[in-house]
Amino acid sequence: MELLLSVTIFLTFGAVFVLANLVLGYFARPRIPNPEKATVYECGEPVIGSSWVQFDLRFYIVALVYLIFDVEVALFYPWAVAYGNAPALGDAIGMTTSTVRGVAIVDMLFFFGVLLVGFAYLWRFGYLDWVRSAATTSLKVEYQTGVDLRREARVLREV
Amino acid sequence: MSFSVLAQSDISDAANTATAVLFYLFAIMAGGSAICVAVSRNIVRTAVALLFTLTGVAGLYFLLNAEFLAAVQLVVYAGGTLILIIFGVMLTSKSPFSRFEAKLGEVVIAMSLACVLLFALVMGIVRTTFATDEFPTGNYPIDRLGQVLLGDYLVPFEVVSVLLLAVMIGAAYLAKGRRREGEEGAARSGSLSRQAREWS
Amino acid sequence: MTHLLAAIGLPYIPGWDELRPFAADLWLIVTIVAVLITPFFITRSNIACALVALAGVTLAFLSQLLVRNSPHVIGEHFRGLLVMDQFAMLWKLLLLLFVAGVILMWFTTTASNMHEGDGPEFFALLLSATLGMSLMASTSNLLMLVLSVEMASLPSYVLAGFRKTHRIGAEASLKYVLFGAVTSAVMIYGLSFLYGLYGTLQVGAIGHAMAAGAIGVGGNALLAVALLGLIVGIGFKVSAVPFHFWCPDVFEGASIEVTTFLSVASKGAALVLLIRVLTTIAAGLGFAPHAGMSLAALAGVIGVMGAVTCTVGNLGALVQTNIKRLLAYSSIAHAGYMLCAVSLLVRHKATIVGEDGNSIAAQAILLYLAVYLFMNLGAFTVAALIYRQTGSEDITHYAGLSRRSPLAAACMTVFMFSLIGLPPFAGFVAKFNLMWVLGTNGGWWWALVAVIGLNTIFSLYYYVRVVKIMYLTPSDAPALNVNPLGLGLAVACAAALVLLFIGLAPLSRVTTNYGKLYLTSQTQQQPAQSTAMITGERR
């Protein structure tokens, strides 16, 4: 509960600090409008075009794969804590430390083993390579047998 | 001794007030921005409002002492899913300010269904005592959560790994498939990145 | 808090006794992994993966056959999360048989077109969906229910859009995923109320808790929302009427073996799940109208839904000219027939579930699915063969098929007549049995029998039209050179339909023996605290 209190104080203080400064600035600053001031700031250089361009699809793939690993990590965490606290946990539930750890290891081996296969598949066949996508798009007509996209990408880079 | 007891009760009073304040803050944040998600016709604004909904819900979990769930909500939903949604918006729509228009009839049907549902839910929730356990005070021990995952709910835990595997493969396939299909799109994005290189 | 923690069971490693009943599911997981490992060693991986998948499904089928009906097998496993009984066993066998057929069909249709390297992904997804559908039959816990439904759905969304260069396929996949996401969200929201009201995730315990005490007016409103959510989620998978819009588009857009897979496996799994959940709850309430929870109203909703579904499906099929869309509407109609049988939740005249958990609805649906599997697999195989040769899915291009490929035309005729439910084929028995079961319960179930009979007359038109075009419309198109493996598969399905009609006794004995649900657990598994919570009065 003390934690909650400190979080509330922190949030309140943060909000008040920012707002107060903005309000103070609003009253204190001189007003000299200028069209230059309304433009987008881009390291002092003139802006070319809009920033609403279509993103590269690769960002999406990376985000998608990231999300899956994210969920995995979320599921790993309680397991890891249970494994780390095995002595205390074992005492509380009447199991020895080694039994708790053994069970945890075996159960996790299945979970992780299955996921590892997927990860190995993505890695081996080049789904995680940043350069690959452009290479496979241009090479897709030629290549027939192999599905080793990384090799294709490497060939392209050497050329 | 009596002084410290007094201080303790003062702190707990203040903490209760803080809980109430935070609850309303998070509830308004979640509910209000959820309305924004539904009402806003600008897809980017919808995505940003969704961020606040998810964060508000995470805050509510936090107030219920479900820290782990709150953290997962923030990491997976606010952190991961939302980025995916925003990338999706950036990828697909030519103009990110595209608008949705619904026909009047559709709006009427949807609104009347929603009102009936809302009525049933509000009446139901107000007049029901739920059978769930009292939520524990204090932090929920994460190692017990691990124990549940390895004990009573072992099967879902292991099945989820297969589900994640399938989703991983499916996502990879879709991403790969799209690129091959959209030769034109890939060329466009290629030329964009080339342009970007020239500019920098 | 202490009470909450005290209820938690110890960590464990499932023993052989626990795992053995689910040997088929374990084999499926092994096969998924094996399919993904295959391309590490074999360069031309598509065919290799298909063979690995076929071998894995066969092994799963055999291991499921070896699981006997011993007392160790029947009952709840994994601390009540999964249940194994004759009903689940037979569904798993049917599902695996069907998936093996779909893989064989893949050899005759897409094998040569599929881009090299897509095979591992295709079969990994197909088998994951199969695993989900197999688990759907065994779920006795709301968490497993959600997980298995998602497990069946998520790979299906990708499979529906698997044809990369196909615009309609991409659109269909998107439609499917949007509909699916919304309906499963509604379902999970509804199920969360079930948990809130009864404090347990076990379906059996929920049924028992419903019987134990009234939950007040507010509780009943929430219960209605919860059951509505369940019906929405499963109704989407069954393509029951207000949620059927995705079905024709997805069936048209997906590649044909995916369409076949979805038409039987996905709908069958959803029906099996619905039977499992509703019968378990109804058993807790004693199959009688109940004060706290109106079982009769629920049966009414499902019955009306089934009647509307089959009518809409048949009326929609009347105007279709694309064979895949026609079969899509036909599958909506058949799902409607089967939904009608699910409405047998309240005892009117006949006994719904016997002493040993023998459910007449489960028997009827298993028999129907066992026959429907062959009809649809065969019909789609013939359509695929013709598509391979002519590049057209339009029925008008079937003109003169009796001359161009007599065997294919004969098979298609068998499937069409069987889909109508005409006598010398097994479809008649399945449909007649369904109507008989509904009729014996009496009451307004007779109305459902009448609706099914009327719909059979509607369906006569469009099924017979296909046959008429094949046999009576002249065409000077050249003879077709159909793939012998595919033709063999079609002939096998047609033969199965005829043989099942002639020697029906074994099949009906099987479905009678296997229509047993494990329902006896509620009384023992009842957690003490949840009843105390429910009987406590509302504020």
Structural domain spans, chain A: 57-129, 130-159
Residues of C in contact with A147 (CB under 8 A): 39, 43, 45, 116-117
Instruction: Assign C352 to helix, strand or coil.
Output: coil
Whether residue C165 has pLDDT greater than 50: yes
DSSP bridge partners of C394: C322
| Residue B8 binned pLDDT confidence (cut-offs 50, 70, 90) | low
Contact at CB, C219 and B124, closer than 8 angstroms: yes
Asked if residues C471 and C410 have their Cβ atoms less than 8 Å apart, the reply is no
Angle (CA) B17 B23 B24, round 5°: 95
Whether residue C153 has pLDDT greater than 50: yes
Q: Please give, rounded to a whole number of angstroms, the shortest distance from the CA of A124 to a CA of chain C.
A: 8
Type and span of the H or E element at C75: strand C75-77
pLDDT tens, residue by residue, C387-403: 888 888 888 888 888 88
Identity of the residue numbered A122: L
- Range(s) of the domain holding residue C403: 20-535
What's the whole-number mean pLDDT along residues B142-154? Answer: 86
Q: Please give, rounded to a whole number of angstroms, the shortest distance from the CA of B65 to a CA of chain C.
A: 12
Residue of B nearest to A103 (CA): B150
Instruction: Assign C76 to helix, strand or coil.
Output: strand
Residue of A nearest to C26 (CA): A110
Residues of C in contact with B160 (CB under 8 A): 147
- How far is it, in rounded angstroms, from Cα B33 to Cα B50? 7
pLDDT tens, residue by residue, C287-328: 877 766 678 888 889 999 999 999 999 999 999 989 999 999
| A120 or A147: which leads in pLDDT | A120
What's the whole-number mean pLDDT along residues C205-219? Answer: 80
Contact at CB, A78 and B183, closer than 8 angstroms: no
Contact at CB, B147 and A89, closer than 8 angstroms: yes
HSE-CB for B110 with a 13 A CA cutoff: 8
Residue C437 within any structural domain of the chain: yes
State the pLDDT at residue B73: 92
Q: Please give, rounded to a whole number of angstroms, the shortest distance from the CA of B44 to a CA of chain C.
A: 19
- How many helices (H) and strands (E) in chain A? 6, 0
Contact at CB, C11 and A114, closer than 8 angstroms: no
Query: Taking each helix axis from N to C terminus, what angle separates B104-126 and C216-238, rounded to the nearest 10 degrees?
Result: 140
- How far is it, in rounded angstroms, from Cα C282 to Cα C269? 20
Whether residue A1 has pLDDT greater than 90: no
Q: Please give, rounded to a whole number of angstroms, the shortest distance from the CA of B34 to a CA of chain A.
A: 22
Q: Write phi, then psi, for C353 (nearest 5 degrees).
A: -130, 130
Type and span of the H or E element at C77: strand C75-77
- How many helices (H) and strands (E) in chain B? 8, 0
Considering only CB atoms, A133 lies closest to which of B94, B171, B179, namely B179
State the pLDDT at residue A137: 42
State the pLDDT at residue B134: 62
CB atoms closer than 10 angstroms to residue C482: 20
Residues of B in contact with A72 (CB under 8 A): 164
HSE-CB for A134 with a 13 A CA cutoff: 15
Considering only CB atoms, A118 lies closest to which of B76, B154, B165, namely B165
State the pLDDT at residue A27: 92
DSSP bridge partners of C75: C84
Whether residue C107 has pLDDT greater than 50: yes
Give the architecture-level CATH label for domain B1-99.
Answer: Up-down Bundle (1.20)
- How far is it, in rounded angstroms, from Cα B23 to Cα B29? 10
Mean pLDDT of chain C: 86
| Residue B9 binned pLDDT confidence (cut-offs 50, 70, 90) | low
- Least confident range from A90-99, A137-146, C117-126, C165-174: namely A137-146
Q: Please give, rounded to a whole number of angstroms, the shortest distance from the CA of B192 to a CA of chain C.
A: 24
Residues of C in contact with A103 (CB under 8 A): 11-13
Asked if residues C69 and C497 have their Cβ atoms less than 8 Å apart, the reply is no
State the pLDDT at residue A131: 64
- Least confident range from A103-117, B126-140, C77-91, C182-196: namely B126-140
Whether residue C539 has pLDDT greater than 50: no
pLDDT tens, residue by residue, C317-344: 999 989 999 999 999 999 999 999 998 8
Q: Please give, rounded to a whole number of angstroms, the shortest distance from the CA of A24 to a CA of chain B.
A: 25
Three-state helix/strand/coil letters over C425-451: CHHHHHHHHHHHHHHHHCCCHHHHHHH
| Residue C444 binned pLDDT confidence (cut-offs 50, 70, 90) | confident
Q: Please give, rounded to a whole number of angstroms, the shortest distance from the CA of A37 to a CA of chain C.
A: 44
| A150 or A40: which leads in pLDDT | A40
Q: Write phi, then psi, for C129 (nearest 5 degrees).
A: -60, -40
- DSSP state, residue B79: I
State the pLDDT at residue B7: 57
| Residue C7 binned pLDDT confidence (cut-offs 50, 70, 90) | low
Do strands C75-77 and C82-84 pair parallel, antiparallel, or not at all (unpaired)? antiparallel
Percent of chain C at pLDDT > 90 equals 44
- How far is it, in rounded angstroms, from Cα B62 to Cα B10? 22
Residues of B in contact with A48 (CB under 8 A): 199
State the pLDDT at residue C26: 94
Interface test with A, best of B10, B29, B140, B165 (most A CBs within 10 A): B165
Residues of B in contact with A63 (CB under 8 A): 80, 83-84, 87
- How far is it, in rounded angstroms, from Cα C429 to Cα C435? 10
Question: If contacts are CB pairs under 8 Å, which of residues 79-118 in chain A contact chain C?
Answer: 82, 93-95, 100, 103-104, 106-107, 114, 117-118
What's the whole-number mean pLDDT along residues A95-100? Answer: 87
Asked if residues C411 and C382 have their Cβ atoms less than 8 Å apart, the reply is yes
Whether residue C32 has pLDDT greater than 90: yes
Contact at CB, C157 and B170, closer than 8 angstroms: yes
Structural domain spans, chain B: 1-99, 141-200
State the pLDDT at residue A51: 67
State the pLDDT at residue B89: 78
A131 at the C interface (CB within 8 A)? Answer: no
- Least confident range from B10-24, B104-118, B159-173, C194-208: namely B10-24
Residue of B nearest to C170 (CA): B178
Whether residue C373 has pLDDT greater than 50: yes
pLDDT tens, residue by residue, C113-130: 888 788 899 999 999 999
- How far is it, in rounded angstroms, from Cα C319 to Cα A142? 44
Residues of C in contact with A90 (CB under 8 A): none
Contact at CB, C154 and B166, closer than 8 angstroms: yes
Instruction: Assign C351 to helix, strand or coil.
Output: coil
| Mean pLDDT comparison of A62-66, B155-159, C113-117, C353-357, highest-scoring range | B155-159
Whether residue C164 has pLDDT greater than 50: yes
State the pLDDT at residue B93: 57
| Sign of the C-alpha dihedral computed for residues C500, C504, C510 and C512 taken in this order | positive
Tell me the Cα Rg of chain A. 27
Whether residue A60 has pLDDT greater than 80: no
Closest among C65, B169, C210 to A122, alpha carbons compared:
B169
- Least confident range from C188-192, C362-366, C535-539: namely C535-539
Mean pLDDT of chain B: 77
What's the whole-number mean pLDDT along residues C124-150? Answer: 94
What's the whole-number mean pLDDT along residues C344-370? Answer: 81
Closest among C113, C269, C292, C102 to C215, alpha carbons compared:
C292
- How far is it, in rounded angstroms, from Cα B149 to Cα C316? 47
Asked if residues C24 and C96 have their Cβ atoms less than 8 Å apart, the reply is yes
- How far is it, in rounded angstroms, from Cα C233 to Cα A91? 43
Q: Please give, rounded to a whole number of angstroms, the shortest distance from the CA of C199 to a CA of chain B.
A: 5
| Residue A135 binned pLDDT confidence (cut-offs 50, 70, 90) | very low
Residue of A nearest to C117 (CA): A147
State the pLDDT at residue C538: 33
CB atoms closer than 10 angstroms to residue C196: 18
State the pLDDT at residue C150: 94
State the pLDDT at residue C109: 83
A122 at the C interface (CB within 8 A)? Answer: no
Contact at CB, B161 and A114, closer than 8 angstroms: yes
Which tokens hold the place of C387? 């598509």
- Least confident range from A1-15, B58-72, C449-463: namely A1-15
Considering its fold, how many domains does chain C have in total? Answer: 1
Instruction: Assign C83 to helix, strand or coil.
Output: strand
Which tokens hold the place of C193? 């109320």
- Least confident range from A77-86, C8-17, C138-147, C466-475: namely C8-17
pLDDT tens, residue by residue, B75-124: 999 888 888 888 877 776 555 555 567 788 888 998 999 999 898 888 88
Whether residue A20 has pLDDT greater than 90: yes
| Mean pLDDT comparison of A91-100, A113-122, C421-430, highest-scoring range | A113-122
What's the whole-number mean pLDDT along residues B66-83? Answer: 89
| Residue B164 binned pLDDT confidence (cut-offs 50, 70, 90) | very high
Whether residue B191 has pLDDT greater than 50: no
- How far is it, in rounded angstroms, from Cα C426 to Cα B57? 54
What's the whole-number mean pLDDT along residues C55-74? Answer: 87
- How far is it, in rounded angstroms, from Cα C344 to Cα C275? 9
Contact at CB, C43 and A146, closer than 8 angstroms: yes
C143 at the A interface (CB within 8 A)? Answer: no
Contact at CB, A60 and B68, closer than 8 angstroms: no
| B21 or C214: which leads in pLDDT | B21
| Mean pLDDT comparison of B42-51, C29-38, C81-90, C347-356, highest-scoring range | C29-38
What's the whole-number mean pLDDT along residues B145-173? Answer: 90
Residues of C in contact with B147 (CB under 8 A): 8, 10-11
Residues of A in contact with C119 (CB under 8 A): none
Mean pLDDT of chain A: 78
Q: Write phi, then psi, for C66 (nearest 5 degrees).
A: -75, -15
Whether residue A139 has pLDDT greater than 70: no
- How far is it, in rounded angstroms, from Cα B75 to Cα A76? 14
Considering only CB atoms, B158 lies closest to which of A48, A110, A122, namely A110
A1 at the C interface (CB within 8 A)? Answer: no
Residue C7 within any structural domain of the chain: no
Percent of chain C at pLDDT > 70 equals 93
